[in-house]
Amino acid sequence: MHVIWIPFLFILGACVGSFLNVVIYRLPRGESIVFPASHCPSCGKTIKWYDNLPIISWLMLRGQCRWCSQSISPRYLMIELLTAVLVAGLYVCYFVLRLRDGIGTFYEDWPMFAAHAALLCGLLAASAVDIELFIVPLQVMWVCSAVGIAAATFRPHAFGQPVSPALATASAGAVIGLLIALVLLRLGWIQQSFLDADDKIITDDRESTVAITAQDGVNPRKEILREILFLTPAVVLGVAGYFIATRIGVVEGFCNELFGGTASGKVSVYLASGMGAVFGMLIGAAWIWGARIFGTLGFGKEAMGMGDVHILAAVGAVAGWKVATLVFFVSPFLGLFWAMHRFVARGKRELPYGPWLALGTLVVLLFYDVLVVFINRFGALIAA
């Protein structure tokens, strides 16, 4: 069946890539990704269906609009081709080359594959926007997170990393705390951080985000305290949830019944798997947000970005907290290679951190087992 699925997924990926091109162009500009229909940005003519075929149309038109002959960016071709390769290649790596242990057949584990493929597509779109404008389209990451939680909830035996009843209860408490903080933010009782910072500059006709320092008219250390205040309800309720789920007998029994069932068909099986995805989302966000808070407090300038927080949160929701943790530690090494390249070849354009998180996610998804074996051996060597 591989000879059927691989070409099909390649074509499907190319079609998804065509949609991603719409998202990449329109979403940062505040335009609808549905209406109007695809059109040439130069002359405004609606693109006919036969000129909108993924990969093929760009090649047939030689990268030019049929009506005004204005050039069509090769980025459109690259995104469609990359998406096709990512989707079909992920199938090959999982179900042909068997790079990951524990994966069954495609018919058994297609929800996991679909969620992982959706995550990689979302990361590709977010990276393209981040490279061009130094911003991360948060809506894309929200969709990826929702896909991960839904897939883990409805197909627990083929997907997800279920957590203990105590951690599931703590995750529920943390989510409730975040919702409370969002309400307080909406009511104006908590103020958003870095509101008065002029964090945009225009260079080479591009809008770029720069690190905010005290010289920009704000005190980053004071501003980051607003984010700590925002996170306080989540931390308090998360710790409280874990405490009552492990120390109070009646509540502990209820949590075990709600999240600890193992028999097939029990609601608790689905809840435990879904809360595993929520826990992964929280851990992923916590790694980057923690680095942002401590980096800002330590160095006196804004460290990391909130878009990066959402990226790793989506990774955790889709692939679990262990993958998100590995991505957090692998990505800096990938970015370091680019930094060294920029140092040697002076004048190379700086890249934001989002694409390195995306590349780190791809590496960890494919080579998770190899990395785990390496870490275990390295740990054993140190212990010896």
Burial 269-290 (b: 16+ CB within 10 A, else e): bbbbbbbbbbbbbbbbbbbbbe
Q: Are residues 152 and 237 in the same domain?
A: yes
Q: Are residues 311 and 263 in the same domain?
A: yes
Q: Is residue 239 part of a domain?
A: yes
Q: Are residues 318 and 189 in the same domain?
A: yes
H-state helical runs in the chain? 2-26, 56-60, 74-91, 106-133, 138-154, 165-187, 220-247, 249-259, 267-299, 306-319, 321-344, 354-383
Instruction: Indicate the number of domains in the chain.
Output: 2
Range of the domain at 144: 136-383
Q: Is residue 125 part of a domain?
A: no
Q: Rounded CA gap, 53 and 299, in Å? A: 49
Q: 72, 97, 122 — which closes off a domain?
A: 97
Q: 97, 114, 147 — which closes off a domain?
A: 97
Q: Are residues 141 and 63 in the same domain?
A: no
Q: Is residue 327 part of a domain?
A: yes
Q: Rounded CA gap, 269 and 261, in Å? A: 6
Q: Is residue 129 part of a domain?
A: no
Q: 46, 78, 97 — which closes off a domain?
A: 97
pLDDT in single tens digits along all 384 residues of the chain = 899 999 999 999 999 999 999 999 999 988 888 888 888 777 878 888 888 899 999 899 888 888 888 888 899 999 999 999 999 999 999 999 999 988 888 988 898 999 999 999 999 999 999 999 999 999 999 999 999 999 998 887 655 577 888 999 999 999 999 999 999 999 999 999 887 655 443 343 444 444 555 545 678 999 999 999 999 999 999 999 999 988 887 777 878 877 775 544 577 888 888 999 999 999 999 999 999 999 999 999 888 889 999 999 999 999 999 999 999 999 998 888 777 766 666 656 667 899 999 999 999 999 999 999 989 887 777 766
Ramachandran quadrant class, 63 (left: phi over 0; alpha: psi -120 to 50; beta: rest)? left
Q: Are residues 82 and 190 in the same domain?
A: no
Q: Are residues 203 and 261 in the same domain?
A: yes
Q: Are residues 350 and 217 in the same domain?
A: yes
Q: Is residue 230 part of a domain?
A: yes
Question: How distant, in Å, are the alpha carbons of 9, 30, 189, 198 from that of 218?
Answer: 49, 28, 20, 9
Q: Rounded CA gap, 302 and 293, in Å? A: 8
Q: Are residues 309 and 171 in the same domain?
A: yes
Q: Rounded CA gap, 234 and 236, in Å? A: 6
